[in-house]
Amino acid sequence: MKIRTIIFDLDGTIADTLPLCIAAFKNSIEPLLGKEVSKEEIIATFGPSEEGTIRQLIPAHEEAGVKAYLQHYEELHYTCPVPFPGIPELLEFSQSKGVQLAMVTGKGIHSTLLSLKQFELEKYFRVLETGSPKGPNKVHGIWRVLERLNAGTGDSIYVGDAPSDIKACRQVGIPIAAAGWATTTDNSELEALDPDWLFYSIEEFREWLNERVD
């Protein structure tokens, strides 16, 4: 297949941002809740945007929690200052070949923009579709990107690191290149779902992509 559109996830695909997210959640939620919250409790709420996570964990303090989260997320971003090595070059290469680049992430719009600004990657993504506090919406986001870019599933791919990404792509009918290069990714979970392709390094993915773009 020739690839004309690539839709990227953000956390765990563009950068190793999951530890940053967990730290920002803990710093914002625990003072309002008055007790410690484990990493596992936080991750169990993932699917909605961070607003949805805070709504589940501290519903009585949602507005204050969201405000605190974004503040801590920005202040702690020095712990994840750059994207994965090779990502800027991959995006530059893809763009130079005329590939349309977009992003569909479960993150909220504010944290997404903070990270893209930190990584100096805003210029690469023509279209952004971000998460909803009501629940997972990547299927809708992917469809929206395809519609907005006038792209089809036959020459587009999604790149993401989570099992839920594979399931969302199956619902849409778009091929997925599973990203197995983050230390936070459980590749055995990805392998069990038999994605269209699974790459363990960005270099491996770029070599594969080089043969499929004009």
Report residue 184 as tokens.
Answer: 């936070």
The pTM score is 0.96
DSSP alpha helix (H) spans, the chain = 18-33, 39-43, 50-57, 62-75, 87-96, 109-119, 138-148, 163-172, 187-192, 202-210
Give the mean pLDDT of 91-98.
Answer: 97
142: left (phi over 0), alpha (psi -120 to 50) or beta: alpha
Whether the predicted pLDDT of 66 surpasses 90: yes
Question: Is it the case that residue 100 has pLDDT exceeding 90?
Answer: yes
Distance, CA of 178 to CA of 13 (rounded, Å): 9
Are 7 and 102 within 8 A, CB to CB? yes
Residue 213 tokens read as: 């773009």
Q: Is pLDDT above 90 for 1?
A: no
Q: Would you say residue 189 has pLDDT above 90?
A: yes
- Is the pLDDT score of 214 beyond 90? no
- The average pLDDT across 201-212 equals 97
Q: Give yes or no for a contact between 77 and 115, defined as CB atoms under 8 angstroms apart.
A: yes
Average pLDDT over residues 113-121: 98
Q: Which two tokens stand for residue 210?
A: 């080089």
